[in-house]
Amino acid sequence: MKNLSNFNLLIIILLFSSCRQQPFTGTVHIIPYPNQIAIGTQYRPIGKNLSIYLSPESGMDKDYIEDLLSDTGVKCKFTNFKWIADLTFDIEPDTIGLEGYRLVSNDYGTKITASDTKGLFYGLQTFRQLITSQNNTLVIPFVEIADSPKFLWRALMLDEGRYFKGKEEVKKLLDEMARLKMNTFHWHLTDDQGWRIEIKKYPLLTKIGGKRDSTQIGNWNSNIYDGKVHEGFYTQEEIKEIIDYAAKRQITIVPEIEMPGHASTAIAAYPQLGTEKQSIKVPTRFGV
């Protein structure tokens, strides 16, 4: 009976092993594509409860990790025990270069290492993109990735001088930038057609300059206007909130405030700033 019991145990182990080693038939999609990637032929089921270990010096934000992975169907649980975690984040000096990371996923779990928090953050973005479904199960393919950015300035520009978007739309944009490992948000906040940032010493910049009574529509040379008021600006508290939101996503905000050109909104608010000292309206036509 003892020998039979051992034999049955061996069969169970072999069956379990064969289930874990089914061929990976999915496709790996990572944007931007890593510098180095080796894709295995197997995968690791991760289920819907993912145990995560963050090294004390990782600097990773638990709330952000939970939020990022939630739309894949994964629920996170954090552990202080590295050896039982499905996903680990570790700082290792000179791992792969500035903002770079290594990601290794195999039968023991997924390990992400980097020399700084930014690298770990970008490794997390890659991990999220690796999650796929096979046989109705969430899985991670066996991979080894070494990646670092070619460009240290990876920017996107949003022009709100022309059209005000509001902080919730800006946050959505920052989320998408983070997923694509972009690190600089060029925020165009003033132009001839609108002033979008509160300057408490000069309240008319937003009271007058943040509002126009119509907008040119159609092509660049169109003489058609929509006749609709367009207005909006960010308070200083909202600006601070968005800066903090971006920082948690490893994004630096670079504001663009036009001076001395493209400053019609400032002149509309304070005519003494103009060379002719004359009152003007906030322009409704695009261009200079």
Query: Looking at the structure, do residues 114 and 219 belong to the same domain, yes or no?
Result: no
Query: Looking at the structure, do residues 74 and 167 belong to the same domain, yes or no?
Result: no
Query: Looking at the structure, do residues 136 and 218 belong to the same domain, yes or no?
Result: no
Rounded Cα–Cα distance for residues 71 and 218 (Å): 38
Q: Per the domain annotation, does 5 fall within a domain?
A: no
Query: Looking at the structure, do residues 138 and 167 belong to the same domain, yes or no?
Result: no
pTM of the model: 0.88
Q: Per the domain annotation, does 17 fall within a domain?
A: no
Number of domains in the chain: 2
Query: Looking at the structure, do residues 61 and 104 belong to the same domain, yes or no?
Result: yes
Q: Per the domain annotation, does 191 fall within a domain?
A: yes
Q: Tell which residue, 254, 20, 261, has the closest CA to residue 141.
A: 20
Query: Looking at the structure, do residues 210 and 255 belong to the same domain, yes or no?
Result: yes
Query: Looking at the structure, do residues 175 and 92 belong to the same domain, yes or no?
Result: no
Mean pLDDT of the chain: 91
Q: Residue 245 is inside which H or E element, if any? A: helix 236-247
Rounded Cα–Cα distance for residues 108 and 47 (Å): 14
Cβ neighbours, 10 Å, residue 268: 23
Q: Residue 48 in contact with residue 74, Cβ under 8 Å?
A: yes
Q: Residue 127 is inside which H or E element, if any? A: helix 117-130
Query: Looking at the structure, do residues 228 and 137 belong to the same domain, yes or no?
Result: no
Instruction: Dump pLDDT digits (tens) for 175-232.
Output: 999 999 999 999 999 999 999 999 999 999 999 999 999 999 998 889 999 999 999 9
Q: Tell which residue, 170, 145, 179, has the closest CA to residue 71.
A: 179
Q: Which tokens hold the place of 287?
A: 């261009």
Instruction: Dump pLDDT digits (tens) for 63-121.
Output: 999 999 998 999 999 999 999 999 999 999 876 888 999 999 999 999 999 999 999 99
Query: Looking at the structure, do residues 143 and 159 belong to the same domain, yes or no?
Result: no
Last residue within a domain, chosen from 131, 147, 163: 147
Return the percentage of the chain with pLDDT > 90, whole number: 80
Query: Looking at the structure, do residues 31 and 134 belong to the same domain, yes or no?
Result: yes
Query: Looking at the structure, do residues 135 and 171 belong to the same domain, yes or no?
Result: no
**CATH number (domain holding residue 93):** 3.30.379.10
**CATH number (domain holding residue 207):** 3.30.750
Q: Per the domain annotation, does 175 fall within a domain?
A: yes
Give the structural domain span for 206: 155-273
Q: Which tokens hold the place of 267?
A: 């002149």
Query: Looking at the structure, do residues 230 and 190 belong to the same domain, yes or no?
Result: yes
